Amino acid sequence: MATDAGADAGLTAADDARKVQAALPHAVLDILENGNDAWLVVDRSSIQETLQYLRDEPSLAYRFFYECLGVDYLDPGTGSPILGKAHRFEVVYNLLSIHDPRSQMGSGRRLFVKVPVPADDPVVPTVTGIFPGAAFPEREIYDMFGIRFDGHPDLRRLLMPDDWIGHPQRKDYPLGGERVQFPNGTYGPSVGEKVVQHPGEGFFGRTADEIE
C-alpha cells in the first residue's frame, strides 16, 4: 500500500472521513477508527453521493476502487445480529487515494465505507455508475448474500448456477455434503441413505427467483 505523501502527510484516513462528514452531514452515520484505519459508516440512500464526493473532491481523490464485499452479522443461535448491531448485513467498500507525484493529487491513504443493510429490505443502490469496477463484486454479493443492488446493469448470479436456491454465505444457510451414490445404491452419510433435497438444489427446475 502507498504511504501518505505531500502536504497532507500528517493527516489520516479518519481526517478524510471527518471531511466527508462536514460536507455531507446527512449521509454519515458514524466514523470508526482503529490505529491508522478508518471506517466511514454511511446511510445506504447516500452511498452514491458519498463515493462520488470521495472520488471527485481534489483534496481526497479516492479514485481507486479495490473491492466491495458483504458481511452477515447474524448469530444463528439467537437469530439476532452480533455486536449489538441493529442491522444484519453490511456492504463494505475499500477505496484508495493513489498519490500522483506529477499532479500532487492523492494521499496514499485507504478508507473503508460501510453501509448498514436491514434483513427485511436488503437493497442498496449500485455504485457502478461511479466505479464501473464494482459490477462484478456487486454481483458476487448478490449471489452469496442476497443483497440486491438497485440500478445494477446486469444483476444476476456470478458464482452459483442461475437455479441455485438461497445464498451460501448467509450465516443461516444450511450446510451439506456432496451427494455420492455407491455401487449398492446407497448414498454417503452426509445426506443419509436416501435421495434428499440437497442445500441449493431444487427438484423442479428454476426456483431461485421464488425465494428472493
Residue spans of the domains in the chain: they are 6-161, 174-212
Q: What are the per-10-residue average pLDDT scores of the chain (212 residues)?
A: 53 97 98 94 98 97 97 94 96 96 92 98 98 98 97 96 87 70 63 51 44 43
Topology adopted by domain 6-161: Beta Polymerase; domain 2 (3.30.460)
Contact present, 90 and 117 (Cβ < 8 Å): yes
